[in-house]
Structure 1
Amino acid sequence: MDEFIQELQRIVGDRHVLTDAEDTAACLVDWRGRYKGAARAVVLPATTQELAAVVRLCAAACVPMVPQGGNTGLCGGATPLNDGRAVVLSLRRLDRIRAIDADNDTVTVEAGCTLMSVQQAAAAADRLFPLSLASEGSCTIGGNLSTNAGGVQVLRYGNMRELVLGLEVVLPDGRIWDGLRGLRKDNTGYDLKQLFVGAEGTLGLITAAVLKLFPAIRSRSTAWIAAPDPQAAVGLLGLMRDVCGDRVTAFELVGRSALELVLAHIPGTRAPLPSEVEWSVLLELSDSADVPLDELLARALALAVERGLAIDGVIAGSLAQAHALWALRENISEAQRIEGFSIKHDVSVPVSRIPAFLERARIALQAVWPDVRIVAFGHIGDGNLHYNLSQPQAVDNQEFMSRTSEANRIVHDLVAELGGSISAEHGLGQLKRELLPRYKAPLEIDMMRAVKQAFDPGGLMNPGKVLPPEEKKA
């Protein structure tokens, strides 16, 4: 055993430095199984101070560091490279709820807390932490912040950028920045915390955060609605917001192919409506007051049918029925994983341009692959679509996957033309870093590199992620 590993053990304890292949395997592969790396060790510190000591040791030895939370990312951002030089820093043991300030509507949590545990802590204080993701039982707050997670309630509450007030961060040299302030107003210079949100661990390691809380939800109404087409779905969103105001909490678009995969692969699921339609909307209203939202939603839905924005719909009559409707949406990614590999896109365009994107992308892709299966779904309320491609037969899909770059170019070029982004909520990781120069202005990349150089001049923090490789000068 080398001296470096012994020093790690001295800091965090023998049991929390993993080096055996069997112990480290789960931390070296991403959730989709697309990226697999190697590492000198997986280290699990229990406190910010232990993590800082580990970082100082790694910095002194020029050992790269890869932060990891729940390891539920889809872009390989938490997976080490194959060179085996890095140490994976798992923050799963930093899992304390440090404080809840109900009067200030804040909760202070450590980065290893699962999203579900934070939701539950908020509920115990009769408050709401609104971030909601399909992986909320395993994803962690540190990962949510590092990728600026959005989820299904961005429409009302915003991304993680809007939900965080303060951070505690271990910097690449091992210093600890204590920015755990629960202030809504603080105009004392640069808003440093926002540099670390969405940075995917390339600038430092988030160890704790002060998060916003909201009034607990007292009433909720959920509906599955058949829409004539995406243009009608956009119109339906506008109508629902006109009629129901900011009670519109979630507005999810689900294509027929996505629903069919869930019905085929997830036991206990069933189609919510008798008729087969190409496009459906999962809509949720919520209110902190005890009000009859089902009645409001029924009136709005009747008006939508009258105006041709909806064909049919069903309103959940119980909490169990609402959960069943949400299970159809939340299990799409799992159903795709069971079905096999697909070419995934996490993109955003202005809401008004979603119909144009869906139609033009379909035409362009079918011109090359007439039988392409398009699994499209996502948060239409904020313009974020998950747009995934595959071939129905596994033997055809292998050849199709080999042409990923060609498919990406078609989809991403159209997204850029429509004023969108090639990464809406999953980050860049390893998957999209090399695409950045095509879709971001050189000046923007230069500014990003300058920030990286200022915080991590040694390039030890999560190398090979986010920033594209620099071109070698002649």
Structure 2
Amino acid sequence: MLNPVTDAFAADLRGRLPDHVFRELAPAYLEEPRGRYVGRGGLLLAPSSTAEVAEIVRACAAARVGIVPYGGGTGLVGGQVMPDGPAPVIVTLERMRAIRAVYPTENVIVAEAGAILAEVQGAAENAGRLFPLSLASEGSARIGGLLSTNAGGVNVLRYGNARDLCLGVEAVLPDGTILNGLKRLRKDNTGYDLRHLLIGAEGTLGIITAAALKLVPRPVQTGSALMVVTDPAAALDLLALAGAQIGEGVSAFELMHRMGLDFLAETLPQVRLPFGQAPEWMVLIDVGLGAGQDPSEALETLFVAASEAGLVSDGLIARSEGQRAEFWAVRESIPLANRKIGSISSHDISVPLSAIPEFIERGGPALAKLGRFRINCFGHVGDGNLHYNVFPMPGETRADHDHLRGDIKRCVHDLVHDLGGSVSAEHGVGRLKVDDLEWYSDPAKLAAMRAIKSALDPAGIMNPGAVLRSPD
């Protein structure tokens, strides 16, 4: 059993750590974006070095006090807040945000876990390189949290998830020892890869304090296009056609439904919409090409071929960086519009690419058996990840349907599971999907995860209740 933070425990820590580590526990550290959880906290600590993180973890291990690692607070599954149980220590790495080193010839950057994603992107740009992880919260999300949740974003199609962009990590393990794993190697077959064990573990196996990250050459020419597709099946055919014509130059391929544009018009009128009348389905294609290649020409050729094949009926090609930014502002503003409308149940799911049309075709009628709802389906169709969110009808609120939330989630997740998909594509498990992990996971996988957790964190102090249910 875990113990709560006490005055005696806090006094002991004050004898071990500098005064600057201790912070007043502001309400922001007990909140999460969707408002589903309110966290508990006994002590907020902001270490400035890996050694200080290790000292905190050693003290918590000895006293059996839980630790909740806190990144940018942008997680959507409650992994950053602990709503019940003994009051924990909250560890924020916001003071550990240094860019330790940049190696342009190696295409590597070493950043501390508290570095904000936009800062890492900027440091890469200053070195003439690109750090391609990109998502809507990049102005506040931190590298440690992004790795701990194996974040995805819009460029997974070309560059992979956060896991694929990490060469090595420095971390503090649950007993307070420091894992010195900041290697910059592409090849290292010396036993178990602990980096990949910590990435995606959501702080349940240790606290990542720094990472060696991959950079890539910056595309010489970039371009974007919005194309109206007849249906999701046509979007998949267009993706295949884009791959055949443009190859690895396709960086992102985003599917959007009319409902997303309707929500933008309703809640964010300052966002400029691309079409006078919102089409039922459209895709946003982003390309990055080398010297001598013209993105506009490539996208025009793609549109002509897609039109001749009956896949697209209309389209817009960005003629400037400003117009390209406007296209992306539409896509990146949809989650904010969703929050303003207020979803009954939101789903971050993935299915095999070929199953996307069937999932969308079956999802609406299945939900209609539970009631009348609005569905906003959008996301990274290039990698099979859809955000499938269910909203009340106009004039109603999500509170009117809160009693159906569990049934809606089960309906969507059952369909995902039936199609061989995942009920958490890029947001993680956190505390929101602990039940889902138990319900849908392969028993062997779940048993192995519990064994790993027990071996590395026998006292269960690391982010208690996240990913795996805390023992009674």
- TM-score between both structures, scaled by the size of structure 2: 0.96
Q: Is 2:18 the counterpart of 1:13?
A: yes
Partner residue in 2 for 1:461: 462
One-letter amino acid matched to 1:310: V
Shift of 1:12: 4.3
Q: Is 2:415 the counterpart of 1:425?
A: no
Q: 2:61 aligns with which of 59, 62, 74?
A: 59
Percent sequence identity over aligned pairs:
47
Looking at structure 1, the residues matched to 291 and 44 of structure 2 have their Cα atoms a distance apart, in angstroms, of 47
Q: Give the SS at the match of 2:133.
A: coil
What RMSD in Å do the two structures reach over aligned CA positions? 1.4
Looking at structure 1, the residues matched to 30 and 463 of structure 2 have their Cα atoms a distance apart, in angstroms, of 13
Partner residue in 2 for 1:444: 445
One-letter amino acid matched to 2:299: L
Whether the aligned pair in 1 keeps the contact of 2:344 and 2:399 (CA below 8 Å) is no
Looking at structure 2, the residues matched to 348 and 305 of structure 1 have their Cα atoms a distance apart, in angstroms, of 28
One-letter amino acid matched to 1:118: V
- TM-score between both structures, scaled by the size of structure 1: 0.96
Looking at structure 1, the residues matched to 269 and 69 of structure 2 have their Cα atoms a distance apart, in angstroms, of 35
Shift of 1:11: 4.3
Q: Give the SS at the match of 1:240.
A: helix
Q: 5 Å matches for 1:155-194?
A: 155-194=157-196
Looking at structure 1, the residues matched to 16 and 184 of structure 2 have their Cα atoms a distance apart, in angstroms, of 31
Q: 1:110 aligns with which of 112, 123, 147?
A: 112
Looking at structure 1, the residues matched to 377 and 26 of structure 2 have their Cα atoms a distance apart, in angstroms, of 35
Partner residue in 2 for 1:388: 389
One-letter amino acid matched to 2:374: R
Is 32-41 or 124-133 further displaced after alignment?
Answer: 32-41
Partner residue in 1 for 2:410: 409
Shift of 1:418: 0.5
Shift of 1:394: 5.3
Looking at structure 2, the residues matched to 179 and 107 of structure 1 have their Cα atoms a distance apart, in angstroms, of 14
Looking at structure 2, the residues matched to 406 and 422 of structure 1 have their Cα atoms a distance apart, in angstroms, of 15
Partner residue in 1 for 2:99: 97
Shift of 1:54: 0.9
Q: 2:213 aligns with which of 211, 214, 217?
A: 211
Is 335-344 or 247-256 further displaced after alignment?
Answer: 335-344
Partner residue in 2 for 1:260: 262
Whether the aligned pair in 1 keeps the contact of 2:120 and 2:131 (CA below 8 Å) is yes
Structure 2: where are the runs of 5+ without partners? Answer: 1-5
Looking at structure 2, the residues matched to 12 and 217 of structure 1 have their Cα atoms a distance apart, in angstroms, of 46
Partner residue in 1 for 2:139: 137
Q: Give the SS at the match of 1:336.
A: helix
Looking at structure 2, the residues matched to 61 and 263 of structure 1 have their Cα atoms a distance apart, in angstroms, of 53
Whether the aligned pair in 1 keeps the contact of 2:343 and 2:390 (CA below 8 Å) is no
Is 339-348 or 261-270 further displaced after alignment?
Answer: 261-270
Q: Give the SS at the match of 2:412.
A: helix
One-letter amino acid matched to 2:407: E
Decide whether aligned partners of structure 1 residues 13 and 264 sit closer, same or farther in structure 2, where only a CA change above 3 A counts: farther
Q: 5 Å matches for 1:19-58?
A: 19=24, 23-58=25-60
Partner residue in 2 for 1:86: 88
Whether the aligned pair in 1 keeps the contact of 2:198 and 2:208 (CA below 8 Å) is yes
One-letter amino acid matched to 1:14: D
Structure 1: where are the runs of 5+ without partners? Answer: none
One-letter amino acid matched to 1:357: F
Looking at structure 2, the residues matched to 284 and 238 of structure 1 have their Cα atoms a distance apart, in angstroms, of 14
Aligned length: 467
One-letter amino acid matched to 2:384: G
Shift of 1:438: 1.7
One-letter amino acid matched to 1:4: F
